[in-house]
Amino acid sequence: MAEIADTSVVRRASQDAGRTRAPTKQVRALTPLTDVSATKWRVLSERAAEPNGYYLPEWELAVQASARGRTGVSALSAWSDTGNLTGLMPVISMWRAYKTPLPVLVSADPYGTLSTPLLDRDRAEDAAADLLDGARQAGAHALILRDMSLDGAALTALSGVLRRDGITPRVLQSHVRAALDATLDAEQLLREGLGSKKLKELRRQRNRLAESGEVRFEVARRPAEVKTAIEIFLNLEASGWKGKRGTALVQHPGDATFIRRATPDLAATGQCEIVTLRAGETPVASAIVLRHLDRAFYFKLGVDERFSKFSPGVQLTLDLTRHLCADPAITLVDSTANADHPMINPIWRERLAIGDVLIPLRRHDVVATLAQSALALRKLAREPARRAIHLIRKRQEKSS
C-alpha cells in the first residue's frame, strides 16, 4: 500500500473529479495485494475469463514476498454482493513504474511478460467496471496495462465498459509473439515449421549428443520433484550467458527465494512443471512451464553451453512441443518470448498479439494525454540503448 500511497498526488489531483459511472454498490479502492484472500483469489483464477499463469496467487504472492524490485504491490479488486472476488488487477504507481509523477496506475510486473487481469468469466464486464471504479476512487486518471493480451476476453470486457462512457483504450505499443496450437499434431507442426532439412540436422545433433549418454526428456510435476528440478534449472541458467550478464535468478537472493517458493506451490495445484533434457546423468537443458486453465506458459529456459553445438535448448523445445500437444488439457501455449525470438519463432508458428494499453478513466482528460506523451518521449530517449541490448541478447539466445 505504501507504494501507491506515495501517489498522494494522485488523490489530490482527483479530489474534485467526477466519476463517469455511478456505482451500484460499494467499490473497494486500493488495498495491499497481500490483503486479498488467497482462497478467494484461487477460486477467481479457476473462473477466469482469460488465463494468466503469472497472476495465479501462488506465483504472484511469491513475487510480492521477495522478488527484486517487485514487492510492495497494491491491488484493484472487484467483489460480488455475496463477497466473492470477481476481478483482480495488481498495480503500482506511474512514478514507481516510469519515474513519472502523474496520477496514473500501472499494472505490476509479475516476473513474466503478461499482465492480463483476472476477471470472472460469468460477470467479466461488471468486474471490469468495478476495477475501473476502484481506480477512480483511488484518484487515478488513467490505467496503463503493460504486456496485455490484445485479442482476449479481458480487454474485450474493459473496452465494452469504456465504450458506454464514450472512452476508447489507446494501444501504446504492440507486437506479436510465438505460440503453440497444442490441439494439432506435433510432428506435423514441426515439419511445417522447421522443414525436413532442419529436422534432419537436429536429429543428427541429437545423435551426437547421445554419445555423452542416453538422451532423456523428464517432466517434474509433484512438489518434491519440482523442488529438486528447480535447482537443476537454476544452475543451468546461471552457467550460461544469463549468468555472465548477471540476470540469472539464482544470482539475486530475493529472486531465488521467489522461484523456489512459487514452483513447488504451483506444482501442488498441478500448475507448474519443470522439464529437463539429460544426456546420461548430465542435465543439458531445463525449462519452467506454468499452466492455467487450458493454457500453458513457457517461462524460462536454461542450458549447459558446453553442449551448445547440439542445440540443447531447441532439442528440449521439440520434446516440450510433443509433450504439450499430447496433453488434452492444453489447447494453447504462450511462449512469453520476445517478438522476434530466433529460437522459438520458427518452431511455434501461431502468434499472440500483446501490447501496452492506456485506459483513460474520464472523457477528454488531459492527464491521459500527458501520460501517453511522457511514455513516447521516454521510449525515444531509450531506443538506441534498447536496440543495442536487443542485438546482444538475440545473438546470445540464438546460440542457445
Q: Residue 247 pLDDT > 70, yes or no?
A: yes
How many domains in the chain? 2
Percent of the chain at pLDDT exceeding 70: 89
Whether residue 214 is contained in a domain is answered as yes
Same domain for 281 and 365: no
Same domain for 71 and 219: no
Same domain for 107 and 34: yes
| 176 contacts: CB under 8 Å, gap ≥ 6 | 339, 351, 352, 353, 354
Whether residue 336 is contained in a domain is answered as no
Same domain for 298 and 217: yes
Same domain for 374 and 275: no
**What's the CA gap between 32 and 248, in Å, rounded?**
28
Q: Give the model's pLDDT for residue 379.
A: 87
**pLDDT tens-digit readout, 10-52:** 433 333 333 444 444 556 779 999 999 999 999 999 999 999 9
DSSP string over 121-172: TTSHHHHHHHHHHHHHHTT-SEEEEEEEESSSHHHHHHHHHHHHTT---EEE
Same domain for 234 and 170: no
Q: Give the model's pLDDT for residue 22.
A: 40
Q: Give the model's pLDDT for residue 1.
A: 32
Same domain for 318 and 356: no
Whether residue 206 is contained in a domain is answered as yes
Average pLDDT over residues 312-319: 98
Same domain for 297 and 191: yes
H or E element, residue 288: strand 282-292
Same domain for 275 and 149: no
- Give residue 394's pLDDT band: very low, low, confident or very high (50, 70, 90): low
**pTM for the complete prediction?**
0.89
**Which of 142, 180, 177, 172 shows the shortest CA–CA distance to 20?**
142
Average pLDDT over residues 269-277: 98
Same domain for 323 and 394: no
- By CB atoms closer than 10 A (0-12, 13-18, 19+), residue 166 is exposed
Average pLDDT over residues 162-187: 97
What is the distance of C-alpha 215 from the center of its chain?
A: 31
Secondary structure tally for the chain: helices H, strands E: 13, 13
Whether residue 335 is contained in a domain is answered as no
**Which of 133, 114, 118, 126 shows the shortest CA–CA distance to 29?**
133
Q: Give the model's pLDDT for residue 17.
A: 39
**Length of the chain (residues):** 400
H or E element, residue 345: none
Q: What is the DSSP letter of 369?
A: H
Q: Name the average pLDDT for the chain.
A: 91
- Cβ count near 343 (within 10 Å): 20
Q: Give the model's pLDDT for residue 29.
A: 76
CATH of the domain at 139: 3.40.630.30
SS3 state at 112: coil
Whether residue 347 is contained in a domain is answered as no
**pLDDT tens-digit readout, 94-143:** 999 999 999 999 999 999 999 999 999 999 999 999 999 999 999 999 99
Q: Give the model's pLDDT for residue 8.
A: 38
Whether residue 340 is contained in a domain is answered as no
| 396 contacts: CB under 8 Å, gap ≥ 6 | 241, 245
**Neighbouring-strand partners of residue 105:** 93, 143
Q: Residue 354 pLDDT > 70, yes or no?
A: yes
Whether residue 168 is contained in a domain is answered as yes
What is the distance of C-alpha 315 from the center of its chain?
A: 24
**What's the CA gap between 298 and 272, in Å, rounded?**
10
